[in-house]
Every structure is written in C-alpha cells, then in structure tokens.
C-alpha cells in the first residue's frame, strides 16, 4: 500500500503567520499542532536535563512519547545531572539519544582547562559542534527557552529562524509563577542541586550557585553556550 505523505504546509506559510496562530494556543496545543505541520522525523528535541527541563519533558512524553530526546553529554556535567537525567528517562519513558563530542577534541579541552581561558571554544567543541550533523537532518528544533530567563530570550517568539533550522519555543511566554505551579501540579522531581541554591545548571566548571542564570559563567561576559543565539537569520 502506498503511504500518503503529510503535506508540508509550513513551507507555504511565513513564520509570522505561524507565530500569529501558535501564540494563541496553550502550551500543550502548541506541541500537538506542531506535528500537524511537521513529521516526527523532522523534529529535533534537545534537553539539558537541568533545573527547568522536567516540565517540557513531561509534556512531550505525554503528547508525543515516541519523540527522541537528544542529550549532549559534554563529559563535564555534574554527577547529579546524570542521575537526574536517568531518573526522568525512567519515570517518563523518554526515548533518549546521547550526543558526545569528539574524544580527541574533548581531551584537549580537558587537559588545557579550556573552560577557564577559552570558555566559548570549550562550549563550541563540546556542545555546539557535536549537534551540527544532527541539526542538519531536521527541519524544526524544540527548545525549552523561557522569556523571563534572560534579555536575549525575552525577545524570542514561538517560532524563530536560526540558520537553516526553525526553533520552536512552546513555553517561551510562560511566566515563572505559572511554571512553578505546573511543575508542582504534575509532581515533577526537582534537580538535586536546586535545593543547594542552583538556579540554572550547566557544566560543573562553569556553573555556580545563584538565582536564575546568574551562576552561569560567573565572572565572565558569556551568558549563553552558543546553541541558541547563533544567527537568527537564514544562511545564504
């Protein structure tokens, strides 16, 4: 039997029109509607399994349980993050795919403590570059960014063009109070380091305790790893 392929409606609709439609929907309906426009094989979902990850992971697991969840293992995560990841994968039945950097390049950053003097390059080698070939195989990228987290994120809409891929931010406009309410309502476990005063969790060398993201790359100008703010324009 010949399979009928889903029409690629999104190719004929501007991002502005998509945003006008999706911004009126609830967080759950945004995710449901996404799969009317894109096949699951075209959708990339990454999670850091950090402080704020459980809510979106929960929604994805209920709405689209077969959606793969890519986790970039930089080899520099806190042991608590790995334990939390394993707990959520088991509890939510997630289809996790681990992404790792080049062993040779990762070893160079480790031997030179690049997180101290070359934090941007360290992030690029261990986080950004390993994801590039995976991004190239997808059309849309689900991200759990929220507008209240940083000035950069406060300017993002539900859909944004980032290079050759479209970013999808289903919970971009959730406020902090509602986020905490829904996390509690669904009885989602907290990251083990949250009780120790960590408001955001990244690699152990570049993360300190602090409210919100103030503990990320503390003492440095850097505020993002490079996965999200890269060129919100179409490459030529």
Q: Per-10-residue mean pLDDT for the chain, 236 residues long? A: 46 80 94 94 95 94 97 96 97 97 97 92 93 95 83 81 91 88 93 90 88 68 55 36
Active site residues: 225
Q: State the pLDDT at residue 221.
A: 60
CA distance 167 to 158: 8
pLDDT number for residue 199: 83
pLDDT at residue number 232:
36
Give CA separation, 17 vs 10, 122, 165, 168, in Å. 10, 38, 17, 14
Asked whether 162 and 231 are in contact (CB, 8 A), the reply is yes
Domain 35-206 is in which class? alpha beta
pLDDT at residue 2, rounded to an integer: 42
Is residue 87 within 8 Å of residue 106, measured between CB atoms? no
């Amino acid at each position: 039997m010949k399979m009928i392929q889903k029409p690629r409606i999104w190719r004929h609709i501007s991002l502005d029109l998509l945003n006008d439609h999706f911004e009126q929907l609830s967080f759950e309906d945004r995710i449901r509607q996404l799969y009317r426009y894109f096949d699951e094989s075209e959708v990339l979902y990454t999670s850091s399994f950090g402080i704020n990850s459980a809510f979106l992971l929960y929604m994805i697991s209920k709405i689209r349980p077969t959606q793969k969840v890519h986790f970039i293992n930089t080899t520099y995560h806190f042991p608590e993050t790995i334990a939390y990841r394993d707990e959520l994968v088991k509890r939510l039945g997630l289809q996790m795919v681990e992404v790792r950097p080049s062993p040779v390049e990762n070893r160079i950053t480790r031997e030179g403590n690049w997180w101290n003097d070359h934090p941007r390059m360290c992030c690029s080698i261990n986080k950004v570059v390993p994801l590039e070939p995976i991004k190239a195989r997808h059309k849309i990228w689900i991200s759990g960014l929220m507008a209240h987290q940083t000035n950069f994120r406060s300017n993002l809409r539900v859909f944004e063009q980032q290079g050759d891929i479209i970013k999808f931010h289903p919970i971009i406009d959730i406020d902090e109070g509602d986020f905490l309410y829904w996390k509690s309502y669904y009885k989602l476990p907290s990251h083990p380091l949250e009780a120790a005063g960590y408001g955001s969790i990244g690699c152990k060398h570049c993360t300190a305790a602090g409210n919100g993201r103030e503990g990320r790359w503390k003492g440095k100008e850097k505020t993002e790893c490079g996965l999200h703010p890269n060129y919100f324009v179409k490459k030529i």
